[in-house]
Structure 1
Amino acid sequence: MTTVEEAQFWQAIGILIKNYHALNKKIFEVVLTQVEKQQDGRLCDSSEEELWKSLKENPNQRTCSGFKIGFKLLPKKLPENILATGTVDFEKCLYECQFASDEIEDFSVRLLGGQLLLESKQNPNWLEFVLKPKLLSWSQSKQEESKVKSLGLVDVEKYNDLYKQLKQKHSQRLLDYWKTAQESTDPLKFIYEDLAIAAYLIVLWNQTQTEPKAFADLGCGNGLLVHVLNAEGFKGYGYDIRKRKLWSLYPADTQQSLLEKAVEPNSFRLDFPEVDWLIGNHSDELSPWLPVLAGRLNINYFLLPCCPYELSGAKFRRRNTKISAYQDFFQYVTQVSRECGFEVLQDRLKIPSTKRLALIGIKRNPTKDLEYFVQEELRKYKTGESEIKLREKEESVRNCTQVEKSIIDGLVLKIFTQLLASNADKWSGRLPMREIAQSLTKEELSGIKSECGGIKTLLRNKHEVFEFCGGDLIGIRTPKAKAPLLQSRLTTKKRSCFFKLYHPLGCPLADAECSFIH
């Protein structure tokens, strides 16, 4: 049984106070509205800074016996916010939380003899299986202050209210567009992500008094963000090298705002002189160029960088291997922004993506020698001004998806049969990658030898059949039932079920549960 020390207990309570929404999926965020400290038997005004400091302090150095905290819980769906009160009692090692709503149960947490004692009148399972494990985890964690706070540049309550309004107003129509276009991408991710980004931009523009005369979304993809912002009264345009199926389903004004046009950094000119904001929403090769283009035009920008690329269009070369590749690239684009003369703002968005750090450039000092920096950066990596090459309109695909279908099908079936034979139960089976590769002839491998990743890429692309089981092992994936909502409303079955066709025992799923045609 894990023993918790007092310092660890208050560390966990401090995280709980700020992150109750991590335990309750109905809550978007927690906002502290009031902090009072208990001192000499009476309550007096205090601050969040003093609260966090006291929770971390040595008990002998504390100047108060506890705190009373006022909360506002921002629900994801309920129209009204929920008020709550938290009480910190240092002398009893006790934290109590009471909610002014029947939607959420009151609870208390106490440290006694190194153990956590949790109480709730109506929800003991939540205490035992949700709250307690989380508190134990938080008590043992090493806490480091995040350099970029979530939604640190906007009013969280205004953002949450607007996000709920946008979901109610747009989500169903956008889901219908997705179904009509028969898009293969996940609508729940793309729709709610772009609605969240739209809500963020609108609140940011209002708070910073930088509402655009017009915006331009470079690398706009499906044009969803342009459509939502236009529908909310913000004039703007989207540029992308290729038209998407969804474009033709939007209203006429949005269709007219979407331009099938390449963005070549050294020759790109905006078609609309009123544009005073550039947007880069997961803009891939254009990401490092967004601050450069905004600097050249002397306008503002918002950038949500995703896949890492150099200014040349080549894959990003690591500068700092002590941090993650994503953080390394984010720091690089931040440096580019500063070299372009921007006072760079950073924020962390709440979107369904692992790449959610944003850069915002509003104020700019135009004395920076922008062009000198760009050319030096290109020369440094021997790319030269004339060799800047971003995305082609028709991209060559080298991931085994362009190999002749008969070759792919033959290899998949052979490997599948080989895995089946390796296990007596005739359902699954595992073999080392090396053994699989050695069993294939040169002729069989010649059809994919020029493809990036070769046999490994082939197996990854057939993820509905095969799975990587750790180490060098490859196995047969057991089909899993999909959520009924996704099957009935959002996706269209396009391919036959591999297991129904080729597995001796057939597919273990019913037709309604399987993602493929039976």
Structure 2
Amino acid sequence: MDIKTTKSVLFWQSIDILIRKPHLINKRLWGCIPLRKYICQVIECNWELALQDMKLGNSIEVDSFMAILFDKTKLKPISGLDTQNHSDTIEVILIELLPKTYTESHAYQLICLKKKVQAVTFYNVTPIQNNQNLCPNFIYSFQLLNEEITMNANSDSDSKSYLWLLKNVLPQVIRWTNQPVISQGNTSAIKDSLTLVPNDEYYRKYNYLKLKYGKEMVKIWPECTDPIKFVYEDVAIATYLLLLWDSKNLNGLTKSVSFVDVGCGNGLLVYILTKEGHKGLGVDVRKRKIWNMYEEDIKLEETTVTPENIQMFSGFDWIIGNHSDELTPWIPVMTAKSSYNCSFFLLPCCAYNFDGTKYQRQNSSKSQYNEYLDYIYKLCEDCGFHTEMDRLKIPSTKRICLIGRRRKYMENEYDKYQTTISYLVDNKNTVIRNEHEHLEINGFKTRDPIEKVRNCTQIDKSIIESIIKNITTFLLDGCNFIDEWTPGKELHIFELIKVIPQDKLNVLKAECGGIQTLLKNNHHIFKVQNGKVTLRQPKSIEETTKNIKKQGKSNSIIKLQVRPCWFYNNHPQGCPLSDTSCSFLHTRS
């Protein structure tokens, strides 16, 4: 393939991404739905004139819209076989643009691809009264000409839409053309999101569930995790599963599916799926606060899942492993041993082996995540599943799921295949010894039911005091202590690392957030803003009381002049406030 041909191929690959995934550039979009696609023999016509009075108000009118277009332009769709006999063809694509904000108007674009002249043109065919703001209202095009990509637009050069095309879209198309993505491994086959469910139905159902469950759940979220991420991620996964399970009875009702969510965490996925008519159970090694807020019909159990009790899940239609961590490789095994008709949904996150140890990357040419996906994919195949993979639309970088709905063997071979699976597990499992913080069962290391506190509050007090002294000495080094009171230098957090001894730094690294968490825990001493640290200016009783009132809290929530003033005891200039005005107690420690 010569350079010119390669450039052409890469250009059309870039245009394909632009058409199929406009949300990658346009942040107003959730995505798009292709409504129609035709290949036609080129006939000279004035497209702008033909489309001047043609508008598409909704997807119901698509066929009549295209019929009028073909009549006006005299274009005639040709079949795939006939295209081989025509060197000069035009591809016509009609798409519906879906807004990220569900209540906004949809937009419709007609796209014409002329392969012979290496050009693609976009026409907005949305009625003016719809007031769409998802795509430019004017005609614009991209063309590969003399190995360069150019853009033309029927618009004023200072309009917002034109500048957006010029500064955002055109450079991205050029980048895609110059830097093609190199695919490798099983994960390379996943080019699109939501390939196993209808996108239009997903869009409608996701927004329906988001309004029904999401908004209220975000308001009452009792966990310390980010509700925006965790709530809407579970809404998205629930949407996907509901569409995956959407097989109808003869009377038009959706069949009820029985499921178990292994490592269910907050249980929200179980809650939504149950409320939407399915029979489910969620199990986790540790109960969460939110469990008490669900109704009695939401079945959640605090239990430890091990290789010895995986048979407890037999009888379910589906086994779900949503970020199931050390149980991830066991999900296809559990499913295979449950029954011939049992299926699984698996969303791997943290990489673990069969024995509960962390998975170690072996191929440096791949990321650990991609290598682990390939490892789990092969494991699912070895367990006898025709394994499907898909990319979810969730607020997470790890969003590739694996689904096992069909077996590679006949039902009468089920018992025989169990021997193969047992042999597979025995070969992969290893014996773990001297792991006192975890439960040992057949070499499998489970998670501790009591979650370790890792917020720097359990570190030895002398170590914390030593680290604080290291940091404050560094911040105050070289400062003028003769004139007015000084909070010291303002330094970036990463600069503080070099003043903390390595042994104490290792203690911090074992905690969630490390040095940042320690600084936050001691916010009465340190002020952290925009990644920079300085000593905090001590606050008076009056200032503290005003802040409490602004936050709508009672004065009794924070007790004043109880804790010793750190500055009074440790700052070279002492505390700049008097004994009676400082909100902390001036007493020698």
Please give the TM-score of this superposition, normalised by the length of structure 1.
Answer: 0.76
Report the alpha carbon displacement of residue 66 of structure 1 after superposing the two structures with TM. Answer: 2.5
Query: 1:118, 1:127 within 8 Å by CA — same for their partners in 2?
Result: no
Task: Indicate which of 372, 375, 379 corresponds to 2:423.
Answer: 372
Query: 2:263, 2:284 within 8 Å by CA — same for their partners in 1?
Result: yes
* Deviating more after overlay: 361-370 vs 454-463: 454-463
Report how many aligned residue pairs link the two structures.
456
Distance 1:116-1:381 versus aligned 2 partners, 3 A rule: farther
Matched, 1:189 2:189: no
Query: 1:36, 1:43 within 8 Å by CA — same for their partners in 2?
Result: no
Task: Indicate which of 442, 447, 462 corresponds to 1:391.
Answer: 447
Letter in 1 for 2:423: Y
Give the aligned partner of residue 57 of structure 1: none
Task: Indicate which of 99, 115, 131 corresponds to 2:169.
Answer: 131
Give the aligned partner of residue 58 of structure 1: none
Q: Distance in 1 between matches of 2:280 and 2:119?
A: 53
Give the aligned partner of residue 39 of structure 1: 41
Correspondence 1:339-488 to 2 at 5 A? 339-364=382-407, 365=409, 366=414, 367-368=416-417, 369-379=420-430, 386-396=442-452, 402-405=458-461, 407-408=463-464, 410-412=466-468, 414-419=470-475, 421=477, 426-428=489-491, 435-437=498-500, 445=503, 451=507, 453=509, 458-459=514-515, 461-462=517-518, 477-478=531-532
Q: Distance in 1 between matches of 2:510 and 2:208?
A: 47
Matched, 1:215 2:259: yes
Give the aligned partner of residue 119 of structure 1: 153
Q: Distance in 2 between matches of 1:332 and 1:223?
A: 28
Q: Distance in 2 between matches of 1:6 and 1:294?
A: 47
Distance 1:322-1:93 versus aligned 2 partners, 3 A rule: closer
Letter in 2 for 1:458: G
Q: Distance in 2 between matches of 1:126 and 1:328?
A: 37
Distance 1:416-1:360 versus aligned 2 partners, 3 A rule: farther
3-state DSSP of counterpart to 2:365: coil
The Cα offsets for residues 150-178 of structure 1, whole Å up to 9 and x where unpaired, read as: 21111111111110111111112101221
Give the aligned partner of residue 347 of structure 2: 304
Give the aligned partner of residue 491 of structure 1: none
Distance 1:162-1:268 versus aligned 2 partners, 3 A rule: same
Letter in 1 for 2:75: L
Report the alpha carbon displacement of residue 92 of structure 1 after superposing the two structures with TM. Answer: 5.0
Report the alpha carbon displacement of residue 354 of structure 1 after superposing the two structures with TM. Answer: 0.9
Q: Distance in 2 between matches of 1:352 and 1:138?
A: 23
Correspondence 1:205-284 to 2 at 5 A? 205-206=245-246, 213-254=257-298, 257-270=299-312, 274-284=315-325
Report the alpha carbon displacement of residue 385 of structure 1 after superposing the two structures with TM. Answer: 6.5
Q: Distance in 1 between matches of 2:231 and 2:272?
A: 10
Report the alpha carbon displacement of residue 457 of structure 1 after superposing the two structures with TM. Answer: 7.2
Query: 1:212, 1:277 within 8 Å by CA — same for their partners in 2?
Result: no
Give the aligned partner of residue 482 of structure 1: none
Distance 1:339-1:9 versus aligned 2 partners, 3 A rule: closer
Matched, 1:164 2:207: yes
Give the aligned partner of residue 180 of structure 2: 142
Letter in 1 for 2:163: N
Give the aligned partner of residue 125 of structure 2: 100
Report the alpha carbon displacement of residue 337 of structure 1 after superposing the two structures with TM. Answer: 1.3
Q: Distance in 2 between matches of 1:339 and 1:216?
A: 22
Query: 1:38, 1:67 within 8 Å by CA — same for their partners in 2?
Result: yes
Give the aligned partner of residue 141 of structure 2: 109
Distance 1:378-1:397 versus aligned 2 partners, 3 A rule: farther
Report the alpha carbon displacement of residue 6 of structure 1 after superposing the two structures with TM. Answer: 5.5
Distance 1:118-1:229 versus aligned 2 partners, 3 A rule: same
Identity %: 32
Give the aligned partner of residue 507 of structure 1: none
Q: Distance in 1 between matches of 2:235 and 2:492?
A: 43
Distance 1:462-1:268 versus aligned 2 partners, 3 A rule: same
Give the aligned partner of residue 88 of structure 1: 113
Distance 1:415-1:138 versus aligned 2 partners, 3 A rule: same
Letter in 2 for 1:264: T
Letter in 2 for 1:261: T
Distance 1:90-1:345 versus aligned 2 partners, 3 A rule: closer
Q: Distance in 1 between matches of 2:168 and 2:31?
A: 18
Q: Distance in 1 between matches of 2:509 and 2:153?
A: 54
3-state DSSP of counterpart to 2:193: coil
Give the aligned partner of residue 54 of structure 2: none
Query: 1:276, 1:300 within 8 Å by CA — same for their partners in 2?
Result: yes
Q: Distance in 1 between matches of 2:277 and 2:492?
A: 57
Distance 1:99-1:370 versus aligned 2 partners, 3 A rule: same
* Deviating more after overlay: 451-460 vs 151-160: 451-460
Report the alpha carbon displacement of residue 386 of structure 1 after superposing the two structures with TM. Answer: 2.2
Q: Distance in 2 between matches of 1:412 and 1:402?
A: 15
Relative contact order higher in (CA < 8 Å, ≥ 6 apart): 1
Query: 1:301, 1:360 within 8 Å by CA — same for their partners in 2?
Result: yes
Query: 2:40, 2:78 within 8 Å by CA — same for their partners in 1?
Result: no
Report the alpha carbon displacement of residue 109 of structure 1 after superposing the two structures with TM. Answer: 2.2
Report the alpha carbon displacement of residue 429 of structure 1 after superposing the two structures with TM. Answer: 5.0
Distance 1:126-1:314 versus aligned 2 partners, 3 A rule: same
Q: Which has the larger radius of gyration?
A: 2
Report the alpha carbon displacement of residue 419 of structure 1 after superposing the two structures with TM. Answer: 4.6
Q: Distance in 2 between matches of 1:33 and 1:185?
A: 40
Distance 1:456-1:411 versus aligned 2 partners, 3 A rule: farther
Distance 1:86-1:13 versus aligned 2 partners, 3 A rule: same
Task: Indicate which of 64, 76, 81 corresponds to 2:88.
Answer: 64
Distance 1:7-1:326 versus aligned 2 partners, 3 A rule: closer
Distance 1:9-1:341 versus aligned 2 partners, 3 A rule: closer
The Cα offsets for residues 76-119 of structure 1, whole Å up to 9 and x where unpaired, read as: 33356533210123455432212333313234124356352342
Distance 1:201-1:208 versus aligned 2 partners, 3 A rule: farther
Q: Distance in 1 between matches of 2:81 and 2:300?
A: 47
Query: 1:68, 1:86 within 8 Å by CA — same for their partners in 2?
Result: yes
- Structure 2: which 5+ runs fail to align? 1-5, 44-73, 435-439, 481-487, 523-528, 534-550, 552-556, 559-565, 573-589
The Cα offsets for residues 57-88 of structure 1, whole Å up to 9 and x where unpaired, read as: xxxx9822422211122333335653321012
Letter in 1 for 2:327: L
Please give the TM-score of this superposition, normalised by the length of structure 2.
Answer: 0.68
Distance 1:382-1:207 versus aligned 2 partners, 3 A rule: farther
Distance 1:32-1:342 versus aligned 2 partners, 3 A rule: same
